[in-house]
Structure 1
Amino acid sequence: MSAYGFDTLAIHAGARPDPATGARQTPIYQTTAYVFRDADHAAALFNLQEVGFIYSRLTNPTVSVLQERIATLEGGVGAVCCSSGHAAQIMALFPLMRPGCNVVASTRLYGGTYTQLTHTIRRFGWEAKFVDLDDLAALEAAIDGNTRAVFCESIANPGGYVTDIPAVAEVTRRAGVPLIVDNTSATPWLCRPLEQGADLVVHSTTKYLTGNGTVTGGCIVDSGKFDWSASGKFPSLSEPEVAYHGLRFHETFGPMAFTFHGIAVGLRDLGMTMAPTTAFQTLLGIETLSLRMERHVQNAEKVAAWLEARPEVEFVTYAGLPSSPYHDRAKRLYSKGAGALFTFALRGGYEACVRFVDAVELFSHVANLGDARSLIIHSASTTHRQLTPEQQIASGAAPNVVRLSIGIENVDDLIADLEQALVKAVG
């Protein structure tokens, strides 16, 4: 099916008429368990000798359709869906890391991800190093013998910073470690990191893929190209797995090793399962992904240009603007646009930002992005509140900055709302 165009795949990939009823839309398989044909069938499933459904913590038919659809749109060999974007990040690192290992991460990350990598993963005995990925020499120097992955966002939240994925991937390829790219803000409609050299892609499917603010979910997509056995650094994938009688995932499943491990071990033991109703809502959202993203980008370009011309605004970080230092990179790597997420700085600092957020009427003040609705938040007082001022600035969430996620409404209405809020906030 991968020979079809993106719009066609967004509707059809993974989905087939229900064999029992002929239902054209993917059903919600709201079930906990599945009846085995006989004892031999059950044994084969539990031994990973046959692919099928055992228990919905591991696999579910509705979720399986979503996994195939996202993997197809990203150009991967397989995917594992889970309960949230944060769950997807832990699930992506889980097969790679051991106590004493580290991940090298971009300094430009969502605040919750920064906290997860700075504090939470230490409880597993893992560590994180943070590097400005525009400095490739610093990235190369940060990777050491205990590094097991490099992590970044394709279009970074909150500032809309555009990562040069091919350049970063060249460094990770030489170092022999996988590159994990969070593609939530770009979606595969704007960027396919696996084609640019990434090895794994993660998503918060909560955002643009679902697009309607109804459910939370996450996904990990595997390129199938990384050699997990080459260095001996990834024993979970290359060495015998005791729980499966010595089975070696990479040897047995080849390009699908990471995907099978994510289900057979990750979901089995971590239990970060996606609900079938969540998968159904996300499948519905993906059907209109290309239509929505086109409008998201069109609106963002107009709003960003309007804001940049306002005297109350110090700067706008949108990479789609010619004034952005990342404009040329965005045009080279993201041919359909620079997304719909960006920040702008208000004259008047922190207090003016708070007044502005309180003054908008059409924009929704929520801790989310990628909705059909336009959203606003002051990151320094919310999503990035736990960071130091220096960390806030490095991640693009300085105290004088407001983040916008531009929706698909009438753009003139959005601009009118911003204009009246600017008057109230700054005068």
Structure 2
Amino acid sequence: MIKLTENKFDTQRLHAGYDPKEHLNSPLPPIYQTAAFALGDTDEAEKVAEGSKEGFTYSRVANPTVRAFENRIAALDGGIDAVAVGSGMAAVSYALLSVAEGGGRIIAPTNLYGASIDAFQSIFPKFGIHVDFVDDINDFEAVKAAIKTDTKAVFVESVANPSTDIADIEQLATIAHQAGIPLIVDNTFPTPYLLRPFDFGADIDVYSSTKAINGHGNVVSGIIVDHGKFDWHNGRFPQFTENEFTLETEAGKPVSFYARFGAAAFISRVRIKYLRLFGAVMSPFDAYLALLGVETITERLDKEVRNAIAVARYLKSDPHVKKLYYAGIDLANPLVQKYFPKGIGSILSFELAGDEKQVDAVLNHVKVFTYLPNVGDVRSLIVNPVKITHREIPANLRKQHGLNTRVIRLSIGLEDADDLIADLKQAIGSAF
């Protein structure tokens, strides 16, 4: 676990989770580009290997550069610890596989990122984990009705991709906790700067740190953060309370993850079992780049939100735009007021009032926007989700949420807002 400070966000983004004195007084975390570490003496080696002492043996399990990134995001998010992994999907998969290990059910909304839907429908059931979908995650009676004796968690996106629908985290956390299960939040779009789900009762946060946490489109990575408040000893999660042969007392008797790590049982098990054995590791160099990105997260997101609002207002007035998907433009929305006083983020979508050929014309005629399947970059990006990022979603779910071939998703960057609007105007004009 890491020690949190009372410093505010903008101080912690630069300093949290890293002590220069432990690294030759380097103000930036060095890149520990090594596969393994010398073990010292045998007593220390054994303690580090069994997890009773923090240290480093092999970079598949932990690395000082990656650890600095984990510590910093945990501090910014208000968690007790974090595990960085090789991608956002690895973060989603490890978190849900860990909580539902041995079989069980997850409740999730139908308007999720395409790869998440695909994993939940085609891969998770083969591990004995089944997802009960609800059409509206803020339909609290439907969520309650979906909870069964073997339900292990509620999973949501704080801001849905690409509709930008907002999940009522506090209400969902209350429902989950009443059932003795955790609320797991994919908080990729807002990042901890715009929203800290733990402040509203969430238990586990997952991020594709590929996106706005890093913010420069040069790293694929993910991270899981543990709030450290959920009771994993409530009888629903035997994987945390059964004895683990790799964890032993000084007397040589095996103990459970809960007995050894207490409040950090979940995140410790993710590291020791899932990261170590499944191996979706974040590289030291990627962690270094992600740490650099975090240093400018406030300035980046403040401007990107301003730009996104300006672009959204233009799109709302354009006669060739049939529908705008950007919850952040509705400042009277109580969920925006409650959860996102600084804005919901830089991603928005719109449905073109035309056909697929006209959508193609827009994509082919933008000059400032880059046609690219990513979000959260300093550069503005454009994509047609149904054909690229959300093609895995079944047709009935697409239709249900208005996700058709005429929908275009934008990720707004740091360019001048007037240039972005002018680029969209000329591209849309070329289509009509």
The interval holding the TM-score normalised by the smaller chain is over 0.9
Equivalent in the alignment of 1:247: 255
Deviations 1:76-103 (A, max 9, x none): 0000000000000111123221344111
Residues 1:352 and 2:358 aligned together? yes
Residues 1:256 and 2:264 aligned together? yes
In terms of mean alpha carbon deviation, does 125-134 or 53-62 score higher? 125-134
Deviations 1:270-290 (A, max 9, x none): 111110001000000000001
The alignment's TM-score, normalised by the length of structure 2, stands at 0.95
Corresponding residue to 1:106 among 104, 109, 123: 109
Structure 1 residues 306 and 258: CA distance shift in structure 2, 3 A: same
Corresponding residue to 1:188 among 183, 188, 192: 192
Percent of pairs with identical residues = 40
Residues 1:204 and 2:208 aligned together? yes
Task: Give the match's secondary structure for 2:225.
Answer: strand
Residues 1:234 and 2:242 aligned together? no
Deviations 1:281-322 (A, max 9, x none): 000000000110100100000000011001001111111223
Paired positions, count: 423
Q: How far apart, in 2, do the equivalents of 1:18 and 1:265 lie?
A: 31
Does the aligned pair in 1 maintain the 2:163–2:326 contact within 8 Å? Answer: yes
Equivalent in the alignment of 1:267: 275
Q: How far apart, in 1, do the equivalents of 2:387 and 2:97 lie?
A: 31
Residues 1:46 and 2:49 aligned together? yes
Residues 1:2 and 2:5 aligned together? yes
Equivalent in the alignment of 1:76: 79
Q: How far apart, in 2, do the equivalents of 1:348 and 1:37 lie?
A: 67
1:25-64 correspondence to structure 2 within 5 Å: 25-64=28-67
Q: CA deviation at 1:399?
A: 2.0
Equivalent in the alignment of 1:66: 69
The alignment's TM-score, normalised by the length of structure 1, stands at 0.96
1:356-371 correspondence to structure 2 within 5 Å: 356-371=362-377
Structure 1 residues 9 and 378: CA distance shift in structure 2, 3 A: same
Q: How far apart, in 2, do the equivalents of 1:310 and 1:223 lie?
A: 43
Q: How far apart, in 2, do the equivalents of 1:197 and 1:395 lie?
A: 27
Runs of 4+ in 1 over 4 A off after TM superposition: none
Q: Which runs of 5+ in 1 are unaligned?
A: none
Equivalent in the alignment of 2:251: none
Does the aligned pair in 2 maintain the 1:331–1:337 contact within 8 Å? Answer: no
Equivalent in the alignment of 2:127: 124
Deviations 1:241-281 (A, max 9, x none): 13334221112211111121111111111111110001000
Residues 1:218 and 2:226 aligned together? no
Amino acid of the structure 2 residue aligned with 1:259? I
Structure 1 residues 393 and 8: CA distance shift in structure 2, 3 A: farther
Equivalent in the alignment of 1:397: 403
Does the aligned pair in 1 maintain the 2:189–2:376 contact within 8 Å? Answer: yes
Name the Cα RMSD after superposition.
1.4
Equivalent in the alignment of 1:317: 325
Q: CA deviation at 1:395?
A: 4.8
Q: CA deviation at 1:198?
A: 0.6
Deviations 1:127-157 (A, max 9, x none): 1111121211011111111111111111111
Q: How far apart, in 2, do the equivalents of 1:4 and 1:394 lie?
A: 44
Q: How far apart, in 2, do the equivalents of 1:286 and 1:399 lie?
A: 34
In terms of mean alpha carbon deviation, does 164-173 or 236-245 score higher? 236-245
Q: How far apart, in 2, do the equivalents of 1:349 and 1:163 lie?
A: 31
Equivalent in the alignment of 2:427: 421
Q: How far apart, in 1, do the equivalents of 2:99 and 2:138 lie?
A: 25
Deviations 1:10-66 (A, max 9, x none): 111112215353221110000111111111211122222211111000000001110
Task: Give the match's secondary structure for 1:215.
Answer: coil
Q: How far apart, in 1, do the equivalents of 2:225 and 2:401 lie?
A: 25
Residues 1:171 and 2:175 aligned together? yes
In terms of mean alpha carbon deviation, does 263-272 or 395-404 score higher? 395-404
Q: How far apart, in 2, do the equivalents of 1:133 and 1:55 lie?
A: 41
Amino acid of the structure 1 residue aligned with 2:185? V
Structure 1 residues 279 and 394: CA distance shift in structure 2, 3 A: farther
1:8-23 correspondence to structure 2 within 5 Å: 8-19=11-22, 21-23=24-26
Corresponding residue to 1:406 among 412, 417, 420: 412
Structure 1 residues 72 and 394: CA distance shift in structure 2, 3 A: farther
Q: How far apart, in 2, do the equivalents of 1:211 and 1:190 lie?
A: 14
Amino acid of the structure 2 residue aligned with 1:160? T
Q: How far apart, in 1, do the equivalents of 2:101 and 2:418 lie?
A: 52
Q: Which runs of 5+ in 2 are unaligned?
A: 249-253
Q: How far apart, in 2, do the equivalents of 1:99 and 1:351 lie?
A: 47
Does the aligned pair in 2 maintain the 1:158–1:396 contact within 8 Å? Answer: no
In terms of mean alpha carbon deviation, does 278-287 or 95-104 score higher? 95-104
Amino acid of the structure 1 residue aligned with 2:357? E
Amino acid of the structure 1 residue aligned with 2:265? A
Q: How far apart, in 2, do the equivalents of 1:152 and 1:66 lie?
A: 24
Structure 1 residues 317 and 258: CA distance shift in structure 2, 3 A: same
Equivalent in the alignment of 1:343: 349
Q: How far apart, in 2, do the equivalents of 1:122 and 1:20 lie?
A: 45
